[in-house]
Amino acid sequence: MKGPLFSIRMQASLHGRHLSGAEHLSTAEDLERLAAGMVKRALGHMRGRAEKIQLTIEEVATGQIDYGALPDLHTYLVDDYHQGRRAAAAILLKSGVSSLAIDGAMAAMASGAAPDGRSMRGAMLIDAKNGNRLEPDQARGVRVSRMDLTEQAQQELILGLQALGLDNAHVREALTLAAKVLTTPGIVAELCWSDDPGYTAGYVASAQQGYVRFPHLKPIGDERGGRAFFLASGEQDLSELIDYLQTKPMLFDRIGQLYRAQPWGEEL
Ligand code: PML
Ligand code: MG
């Protein structure tokens, strides 16, 4: 990508609640096209048409951008979301998250993690040992921002995902977001399932296991979903960690291995 880059992000709401968001790092020439796509997405969302759309465009200092690689992607086939959540819990446990923290995160996401019982706009921050919620604003959560793929990595990812029958915006964007989360000092793992009622898939991401997706982590039709980032217990400075997630610009210029789906086996 040549020339200065801009962070362009969209947030859309309906009835005063979060509806849709999107995120890119882009050259000046591409901003118009991306902005149009974001507005289209906000107006055509499956949960309704946005009433309010906020677009923010900011130049990013070139020297601040870090480069990295996407994690490997695995898909494990599960019969239903019960099995999916058990499998996701097993992966989280292997990644160093305690049962207490896993159960708390899943219960919060399943019942709507915001105080009004709805999904949060951003992620929960959860102590990986004692399960305490650490995000300062439990309605908003922490939104990860300023990350994208380079043009070439995006093309490679699209081709690779197409070969697996998996190329959609949910997968591409979640993989990119998880990649940034995994570079964050102090985060050991992430759990996510979609808040879109028609999309039941979700994933666990960790440095050791990569991006491990399950086609079912919630029942179809459920609008409750979101993200939990599990934090290594101890010394880390919470405001530094939040600042990194929200503002550190990261471009991913390499993709990871993309593995074919396989049946979940409890032994994994
Ligand atoms: C979302 O887009 O709401 C989150 C989707 C998470 C799962 C993406 C995937 O299928 O890997
Ligand atoms: Mg969504």
The domain boundary, picked from 64, 89, 104, lies at 64
Output the pLDDT for position 1.
58
The number of folded domains in the chain is 2
Confidence grade of residue 190 (pLDDT, cut at 50, 70, 90): very high
Torsion of CA 112, 113, 117, 120, to 10 degrees: -90
**Which pLDDT band holds residue 86 (cuts at 50, 70, 90)?**
very high
The answer, yes or no, to whether residue 235 has pLDDT greater than 90, is no
> What is the 160 CA–ligand 1 centroid distance (Å)?
17
Question: Does residue 268 lie within any of the structural domains?
Answer: no
160 and 111, same domain (yes or no): yes
202 Cβ inside 6 Å of ligand 1: yes
Q: Give domain status of residue 83, yes or no.
A: yes
Shared-domain flag, residues 153 and 43: no
Look at residue 58 and tell me if it is in a domain. yes
Residues 183, 58 share a domain: no
What is the rounded radius of gyration, in angstroms, for the C-alpha atoms of the chain?
A: 18
> In this structure, are 27 and 76 located in the same domain?
no
Q: Residue 28 Cα, ligand 1 centroid: separation in angstroms? A: 28
Residues 38 and 134 both lie in one domain: no
Please tell me the distance between residue 196's alpha carbon and the centre of ligand 1 in angstroms: 9
Kindly give the number of the ligand 1 atom that is closest to the alpha carbon of 175: 11
What ligand is nearest to the CA atom of residue 199? 1
Quote the percentage of the chain above a pLDDT of 90. 88
In a shared domain, residues 106 and 232: yes
Pick from 211, 206, 209, 208: nearest CA to 164 = 211
Ligand 1 pocket residue status of 195, Cβ below 6 Å: yes
Decide if pLDDT at 114 tops 90. no
Indicate if 94 and 125 belong to the same structural domain. yes
Q: Decide which of 14, 45, 64 is a domain's last residue.
A: 64
| Closest residue to atom 4 of ligand 1, CA basis | 194
Tokens encoding 99? 């049962």
Q: pLDDT at position 16, please?
A: 87
Question: Is 225 found in the same domain as 195?
Answer: yes
pLDDT value of position 78: 98
Q: How many angstroms is it from 173 CA to the middle of ligand 1?
A: 8
pLDDT at position 46 is: 85
Task: Map tokens 């946005």 to a residue.
Answer: 50
Domain boundaries, position 42: 5-64
Residue nearest to atom 8 of ligand 1 (CA): 171
Q: Is 258 in the pocket of ligand 1 (CB under 6 A)?
A: no
204-217 residue pLDDT tens: 999 999 999 999 99
268: pLDDT strictly greater than 70 = no
CA nearest to 100, candidates 135, 140, 139, 133: 133
